[in-house]
Amino acid sequence: MYFYLFIVLALCIDQATKIAIRANVALGEKKELWGFIRLTHLENTGSSGNMLHGQGRLLAILILTLAGIALYLKSRGRFRGTLTQVGVALFIGGGIGNALDRILYNQVTDFLYFADAATMNFADIWVFLAFVCIVASQFKPLFKPNAAGLEDKRHT
C-alpha cells in the first residue's frame, strides 16, 4: 500500500511544482525563495545534461516501459525490503513525472538551480534518491548480525 502512495506523492509533488513554476516564473528568469532556495525556469528537451536533445517522446516511451516492468516485478513480489520498495516507488514516480512532461511538451521543466550545469526538478531528485535507496538496500545485509555467528560466540 505504501509503495503506491510513494509513487502518487512523488508524482504529485513533481507535477505541482512544475505547474507552479510554469505559471509564475518566466522562462530563463531566476528567483530566490526564503533566501536560500534558488529557482530558475528552464526547459530541457533531452535527458540529464541535455543528452539525447530533442528525443523527449522517445525517452518517455523508454521510461514508461521501465516503470511498467518495475510495476510488473512488484506484482510478482520481486522487490523485498523497505529501502528497495521505497527506491523503486520513487523511481517510478519520478520517471512518470518527467515522462508526462516529455509526452505533453516534448521537454521537461527544470527549476531547482544548484549551479549553471545543475538545474533539476523533483522528478530528478526522486530518481536520484531511488538510486541511493536501492544501493543502500544492497549493503544493509552486510550490517545485520549473523544469527549463526552470535550463537557461536555465546557457546564459546
**What is the amino acid identity at position 121?**
N
Question: Do residues 95 and 87 make contact, with C-beta atoms less than 8 angstroms apart?
Answer: no
Cα–Cα dist 37/112, whole Å:
8
Query: How many structural domains compose the chain?
Result: 1
Does the CA dihedral 131-133-134-135 come out positive or negative?
A: positive
Among residues 40, 12, 29, 22, which one has the least CA distance to residue 105? 22
Provide the residue range defining the domain that includes 26.
2-154
Q: Is-contact 90 130, C-beta < 8 A?
A: yes
The residues that are catalytic are: 110, 124
Instruction: Note down pLDDT in tens along the chain; length 156 residues.
Output: 699 999 999 999 999 999 999 999 898 888 888 878 888 888 887 666 556 555 667 778 888 999 999 999 999 988 888 899 999 999 999 999 999 998 898 888 988 888 766 788 999 999 999 999 999 988 866 666 664 454 444 444
